[in-house]
């Protein structure tokens, strides 16, 4: 009755017609039932309005984040050996080392395949993809290991599909594959923030599958690695675009965390591959790196990226309850090149050069732990698709053997 009390005694009208508003007079003239009906009506409307607003608000909160935020960070070509046992002495990775010392570190993890275009769908579907083919739509046709039929990726119940099905709002930040309307329609709670940079993945896919196309590609790669001949290649466009894609991914990731609009964030980072974007001597972001830097120097950028994300999540109070998986789609491309080798095969251990990092933090996890059992990254999809309370390390065990489907060429 606050507003009614406030207008009581108010001078209403002008000159001779002016009178003082008197609630008691109104009640007597109208009779109590009419009085209550007329003067109570706005409050009833207000009460209804507040009731439904609160109801919507409550439902919104309940749906927003029943558990902690899920983060899957896939760093392209992030090599286990160069990051951990054989890290170059000039490379410091304090954030990765802190994360490793606080959480679960798998030190014998293998990627599903040796190339991005097969590994990313493998990682998200939880099954090793033997072969891929682009299809109009756009869509990608997948042929899983041990199967002969082709299935459109849009129709496979992958991690974004399962999260979306659980009503979890997912943000997928990527730059390699194209996702068409069919993919999005089957995943109503998914948003894709894609920077379409790697045009060669779509435009060149058909070209590289022909004999001439693959011949040209092989020769381009040979030329790129010949000393003194690098001026032949279109260096400018290559150097500029990876930083663009990286900065896009970083901004989108920080925005997605900050917005609190998502329950899960999946990021496919275009680092650590070249060009080098952080000068390890200064630790500063650079578009003109000193000569002689190689892929390993961008490990610093991986570390800085993790640091930025951690800082953002901690300042939002989202870190402790979060489930975070750090891994890669395949090992470092020079790891098996005898001239470039920095990661020798360990005696008695199969394929040690083909390992990728797998680091997991989740609220139910025990403290720091090193797991030496062979793993394949494809298990991550099953682990993250499970509701938080039922996640466990057994879900990471590969269903069909730990080694994936490799060929010598890293892409």
CB 409 → Zn ion: shortest distance, Å?
12
Please, are residues 114 and 330 in contact by the beta-carbon 8 Å criterion? yes
Tokens 């659980």 locate to 166
DSSP string, 52-79: HHHHHHHHHHHHH-SSPPEEEEEETT--
Give the max Cα distance, the chain. 108
Q: Give start and end residues of each alpha helix (H) in 316-407.
A: 379-385
d(C-alpha 315, C-alpha 292), whole Å: 37
CB 172 → Zn ion: shortest distance, Å?
16
Would you give the DSSP letter of residue 186?
Answer: T
Stretch that binds Zn ion, among 32-40, 75-83, 192-200, 284-292 (CB under 5 A): 75-83
Backbone angles phi, psi at 173, to 5 degrees: -110, 120
Q: 312-351: which residues touch Zn ion (CB under 5 A)?
A: 329
Q: 115-154: which residues touch Zn ion (CB under 5 A)?
A: 116
Please, are residues 114 and 406 in contact by the beta-carbon 8 Å criterion? yes
Stretch that binds Zn ion, among 16-24, 72-80, 251-259, 374-382 (CB under 5 A): 72-80
Nearest CB to Zn ion, comparing residues 114 and 189: 114
79 interacts with Zn ion by CB under 5 A = no
CB 78 → Zn ion: shortest distance, Å?
9
CB atoms within 10 A of CB 411: 18
76 interacts with Zn ion by CB under 5 A = yes
Stretch that binds Zn ion, among 31-39, 59-67, 110-118, 358-366 (CB under 5 A): 110-118
CB 312 → Zn ion: shortest distance, Å?
25
Stretch that binds Zn ion, among 105-113, 114-122, 161-169, 391-399 (CB under 5 A): 114-122
Q: 272-291: which residues touch Zn ion (CB under 5 A)?
A: none
How far CA 250 is from CA of 24, 253, 266, in Å, comes to 65, 5, 12
Nearest CB to Zn ion, comparing residues 132 and 257: 132
CB 377 → Zn ion: shortest distance, Å?
12
113 interacts with Zn ion by CB under 5 A = no
Contacts of 237 (CB under 8 A, 6+ apart): none
Which residue ranges make up the site for Zn ion (CB under 5 A)? Answer: 76, 116, 329
């Amino acid at each position: 009755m606050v507003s009614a009390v406030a207008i009581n005694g108010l001078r209403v009208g002008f000159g001779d017609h002016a009178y003082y508003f008197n609630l008691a007079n109104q009640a007597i003239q109208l009779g109590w039932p009419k009085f209550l009906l007329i003067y109570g009506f706005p409050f009833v409307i207000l009460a209804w309005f507040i009731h439904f607003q609160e109801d919507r608000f409550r439902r919104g909160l309940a749906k927003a984040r029943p558990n902690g935020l899920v983060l899957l960070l896939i760093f392209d070509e992030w090599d286990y050996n160069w990051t951990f046992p054989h890290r170059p002495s000039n490379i410091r990775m304090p954030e990765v080392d802190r994360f490793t010392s606080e959480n679960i570190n798998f030190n014998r993890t293998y990627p599903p395949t040796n190339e991005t275009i097969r590994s990313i769908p493998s990682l998200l579907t939880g099954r090793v993809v033997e072969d891929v083919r682009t299809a109009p739509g756009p869509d990608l046709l997948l042929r899983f290991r041990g199967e002969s039929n082709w299935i459109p990726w849009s129709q496979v119940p992958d991690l974004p599909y399962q999260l979306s099905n659980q009503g979890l709002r997912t943000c997928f930040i990527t730059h390699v594959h194209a996702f068409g309307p069919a993919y999005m329609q089957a995943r109503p709670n998914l948003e894709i923030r894609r920077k379409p940079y790697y045009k060669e993945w779509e435009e060149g896919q058909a070209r590289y599958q022909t004999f001439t196309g693959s011949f040209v590609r092989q020769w381009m790669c040979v030329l790129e690695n010949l000393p003194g001949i690098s001026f032949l290649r279109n260096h400018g466009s290559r150097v500029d675009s990876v930083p663009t894609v990286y900065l896009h991914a970083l901004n989108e990731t920080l925005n997605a965390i900050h917005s609190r609009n998502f329950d899960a964030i999946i990021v496919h980072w275009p680092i650590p591959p070249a060009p080098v974007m952080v000068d390890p001597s200064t630790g500063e972001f650079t578009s003109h790196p000193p000569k002689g830097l190689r892929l390993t120097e961008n490990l610093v950028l991986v570390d800085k990226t993790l640091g930025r994300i951690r800082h953002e999540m901690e300042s939002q109070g989202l870190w402790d309850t979060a489930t975070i998986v750090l891994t890669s789609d395949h090992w470092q491309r020079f790891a098996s090149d005898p001239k470039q080798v920095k990661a020798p095969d360990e005696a008695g251990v199969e394929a040690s050069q083909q390992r990728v990092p797998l680091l997991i933090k989740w609220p139910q996890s025990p403290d720091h732990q090193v797991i030496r059992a062979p793993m394949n990254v494809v298990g991550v999809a099953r682990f993250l698709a499970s509701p938080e309370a039922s996640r466990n390390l057994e879900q990471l065990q590969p269903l069909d053997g730990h080694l994936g489907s490799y060929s010598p060429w890293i892409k």
